[in-house]
Amino acid sequence: MQPNLTRARAALASLLLLSPIAVVASSAAATPAAAPAVTASAAAKAPAYDVTIRITEHGIPHIRSNTLPGMAYGAGWITTAEATCNLMDTLLTARGERSLYEGPDATYKDNVGGSATNLEWDTLVTDLHDRRVVERLLADPVAGPSGRAKAMVVAETAGINAWLAEHEITDPACADDEWIKPDVTTTDVWYAFYLAQLISSTTRLLPQVTGATPPTAATRPAPTPTRAQLREALEQDDRFGSNATAVGGDDTSTRRGMILGNPHFPWLGRYRFTQMHLTVPGKLNVAGGALTGFPAINIGFNKDVAWSHTVSTGYRFTPYQYTTAGSPTSYRTAGGGTAELERRDVDVQVRTDAGVETVTRTLWRTPQGYVLNAPSLFMGWTKDSFWAFRDANAEHLRTFDTFLSMNMASSVRNLLRRQDRGGGMPWVNTIAADRAGDVLYADHAVTPNVTDALAGRCMTTAGRLIFSVAGLPGLDGTRASTGCAWGTDQDAQRPGILGPSHLPEVVRRDWVMNANDSYWTPNDEVRLTGYPRIIGCEDCERTMRTKVVMAYVRDRLEVGRETPRTLASHEHANRVYAAEVARAGGRLDQVCTATGLTAACQVLHDWDGRSDATSSAGAAIFQEFVWLADQRDVGLWEVPFSAAHLLTTPRTLSTAQPVVDAMAAAITRVTDRDPDLSGTYGELHRSGDRGSAGWPLGGGLGDLSGDANAVSSTLGDPVLDPVTRGSSYIQAIAFRGRTGIDARTILTYSQYEDPASPWSDDQTEMFSKEQWVRFPWTAAQIRDQLVEVVHLAP
């Protein structure tokens, strides 16, 4: 038995409290099925579910039931144990009650794009409840979930409540929150799912929606943004991204498929992953990472196919510009008519020093969706016009069904067919590999059916400007319900979205990848072209991160096939691709020398060019340099991008004074933390998730620096402050022979959120040391790593 198992078992018993369940403490060599059980009576009334959870090292649950609802019950129960405060905070948001319990003025960030005050979040969510958006979708036979999914959410909700009913919360983050009770409803859970669908659309525009008010005579025109400001405002936040590489049988040592997937997600808050292994004999056997509270695997593998996701460049919404008709709340319609905006007065309960009060906020809508006031996007509300937007992900509740079906896939082609039939892949690309040796890249996320032809017919003057800068078509609201309505494809799961035949995909046997650039370049030779601009750009610049991810595979294939070990090794190779380009011709040294900071420049010169935790402080200087140059909008490269040389442009580091100034400032920032620059990069770059010991980490900024292992901070300085985002649930999966799976995984911030748990920081330490969890997939592997068995029989 490993030394930590006794400590882990004791901590688990403390966390679980052994109340409504049967629990078996098992040695690593014990046979779970043979272990005796002591069953206590269930306190919470719920349907009859029979679930066994085998917990292996690092707190990873292997949940087994004879039914899908039973499996979902177990997932809800164990997720509540692992992530109590985060899950309940997610459900509080889904209820629209943040202001009631946390006050109206605090800022709530979901850390993937949505940032607003509690009152702003509650205003939107309360209006969704008032309009019964989710309830209507639950009754929709096309856009709503299946009966199977509904039954599973009923079970998951029961599992959440069962854990809450019988356990005292020990996590200090929410132990004193009296509002946490075993009163979670299925509606709460579905609204949480629904809000997750909106993170690339409605909730990203939350302040602009909740702050939209009709202009008055005293309203002063907002300054017109520059094209650069517009592009920056509409571009996907590079903190919210991922890498994934799938290598096919033609290029692997096993002649089977392999995948390395690394989603770059928050280490704090709602969008953390938990690891799970879900089994329903004869129906489902899948493992991987699931976003908190989701009872299916989002990124993972089964016996025949493994997949990962990266955030897509496509837009999930389109703005419509309306011409006012006599007042700011009247607008013109097709055929010379007029209409009035729908005024929605929303009552939100808020906590104040004087007690609970009702605050009324007003939202405005057209039949297409919410009105927004966003002058920085050229979408201001003026006396002459206003903008509203239609959100494709607001019109369905199919994401759970889509992932659940994908969990049962038998090949990459079958995976994509299941995804398309589900119609609910919300905002990501899919990269996959299978046992037959095929690999897939596809961007089949939910996308408005706005072809370039429709956009050309329907864009307003301002809409064309937005389109030319960012690829988002701004359409004519006058014809929003007629000639400028979204189209319908016969092969789409429902009207209004692009069907599979109009979405990019490729299946190959060599390799594919994506690192959040558009679909155009799934590898160094293949070009996907001819798709609507709303999905992404073609003949456009690739980031340094895309280039390094490609370089790992290309360089390996020059000397031999990818093996399970070599593909996994790319995760911690930590090349800093932008530095490799900057050093060409001695340019990086020239820039540094011009600062006159000789000692620091020697450190930078001697740096090994990697972002390993053991690299010198030169790594921090370079990361700070490219970040500051970006913040100051300093152009770094003399040779611009050329589509004919997409992997080698831009290049040639500029030696202009603004570049030198950025370098000098970077050195100053690093020497403020390490005056003599004698420390390692890892001493300056440490883990910062809640409860972490502050482990030294490799990796860097991602797009700016050309690090595939993107880890940085949201707390101020992205390089030098504690890491709170980036590499998250990482998997390196290789299929072997007819049945074998080589599964390496790591959950960078660890499985449990309560700092008292032995599983709250153990994988973070492993990540710091560039180690992997050898994921227990088979019954024998689970038995070998077994820590605890939990039997739920309410």
Rounded Cα gap, residues 363 and 184, in angstroms = 28
Rounded Cα gap, residues 709 and 727, in angstroms = 6
Has residue 239 got a pLDDT over 60?
Answer: no
Supply the DSSP string of 119-172, one letter for each residue: HHHHHHHHHHHHTTHHHHHHT-TTTS--HHHHHHHHHHHHHHHHHHHH-----T
What pLDDT, in 10s, does the model give residues 756-788?
Answer: 999 999 999 999 999 999 999 999 999 999 999
Looking at residue 33, its pLDDT comes to: 32
- Rounded to the nearest 10 degrees, how much is the dihedral formed by the CA atoms of 88, 89, 95, 101? 110
Looking at residue 240, its pLDDT comes to: 60
Q: What backbone phi and psi angles, to 5 degrees, belong to 434?
A: -130, 175
Has residue 35 got a pLDDT over 90?
Answer: no
Report the percent of the chain where pLDDT is more than 90.
Answer: 89
Looking at residue 1, its pLDDT comes to: 39
Q: Once rounded to an integer, what is the mean pLDDT over residues 642-671?
A: 98
Looking at residue 269, its pLDDT comes to: 87
User: β-strands 475-476, 317-323: how paired?
Assistant: parallel
What pLDDT, in 10s, does the model give residues 61-72?
Answer: 999 999 999 999
Looking at residue 236, its pLDDT comes to: 57
Contact 568, 635 (CB under 8 A): no
Supply the DSSP string of 717-772, one letter for each residue: -TTTSPB-EEE-EEEEEEEETTTEEEEEEEETT-S--STTSTTSSHHHHHHHTT--
Which of 76-80, 265-269, 498-502, 739-743 is predicted with the least confidence, judged by mean pLDDT?
265-269
Looking at residue 45, its pLDDT comes to: 53
Q: Once rounded to an integer, what is the mean pLDDT over residues 543-556?
A: 98
Looking at residue 369, its pLDDT comes to: 98
Residue type, 111: N
Q: How confident is the model at residue 225 (pLDDT cuts 50, 70, 90)?
A: confident
Q: How confident is the model at residue 222 (pLDDT cuts 50, 70, 90)?
A: confident
Looking at residue 112, its pLDDT comes to: 83
Q: How confident is the model at residue 267 (pLDDT cuts 50, 70, 90)?
A: very high
Instruction: Region of 387 please: left (phi>0), alpha (psi -120 to 50) or beta.
Output: beta
What pLDDT, in 10s, does the model give residues 153-185?
Answer: 999 999 999 999 999 999 999 999 999 999 999
Which of 2-16, 20-34, 347-361, 700-714 is predicted with the least confidence, judged by mean pLDDT?
20-34
Rounded Cα gap, residues 93 and 591, in angstroms = 48
Three-class secondary structure assignment of 430-461: EEEEECCCCEEEECCCCCECCCHHHHHHHECH
Q: How confident is the model at residue 596 (pLDDT cuts 50, 70, 90)?
A: very high
Has residue 3 got a pLDDT over 50?
Answer: no
DSSP 181: -
What pLDDT, in 10s, does the model give residues 506-530?
Answer: 999 999 999 999 999 999 999 999 9
Question: Residue 430 corresponds to which tokens in the numbers above?
Answer: 């899919």
Rg (CA), the chain: 26
CA distances from residue 723 to 36, 718, 768 in whole angstroms, order as listed: 44, 8, 12
Rounded Cα gap, residues 400 and 452, in angstroms = 30
Residue type, 716: G
Q: Once rounded to an integer, what is the mean pLDDT over residues 440-446?
A: 98
Contacts for 672 with CB less than 8 Å, ≥ 6 apart? none
Q: How confident is the model at residue 5 (pLDDT cuts 50, 70, 90)?
A: very low
Q: How confident is the model at residue 238 (pLDDT cuts 50, 70, 90)?
A: low
Rounded Cα gap, residues 308 and 729, in angstroms = 10
- Rounded to the nearest 10 degrees, how much is the dihedral formed by the CA atoms of 187, 190, 191, 197? -170
Q: Where is 593: in which H helix or E strand? A: helix 587-593
Question: Which of the residues 65, 242, 385, 713 is marked catalytic?
Answer: 242
Looking at residue 113, its pLDDT comes to: 74
Has residue 12 got a pLDDT over 80?
Answer: no
Residue type, 162: A
Has residue 657 got a pLDDT over 50?
Answer: yes
Burial 469-484, CB ≥16 within 10 A → b, else e:
bbbbbbbbbbbbeeeb
Q: How confident is the model at residue 2 (pLDDT cuts 50, 70, 90)?
A: very low
Rounded Cα gap, residues 470 and 482, in angstroms = 25
Q: Once rounded to an integer, what is the mean pLDDT over residues 562-577?
A: 98
Q: How confident is the model at residue 14 (pLDDT cuts 50, 70, 90)?
A: very low
The per-type count for the chain, helices as H runs and strands as E runs, is 24, 31
Looking at residue 169, its pLDDT comes to: 97
What pLDDT, in 10s, does the model give residues 49-61?
Answer: 999 999 999 999 9
Question: Residue 577 corresponds to which tokens in the numbers above?
Answer: 């691709």
Looking at residue 28, its pLDDT comes to: 34
Selection from 274, 259, 260, 380 nearest residue 319 by Cα: 380
Selection from 380, 727, 452 nearest residue 572 by Cα: 727
Looking at residue 175, its pLDDT comes to: 97
242 assigned to active site:
yes
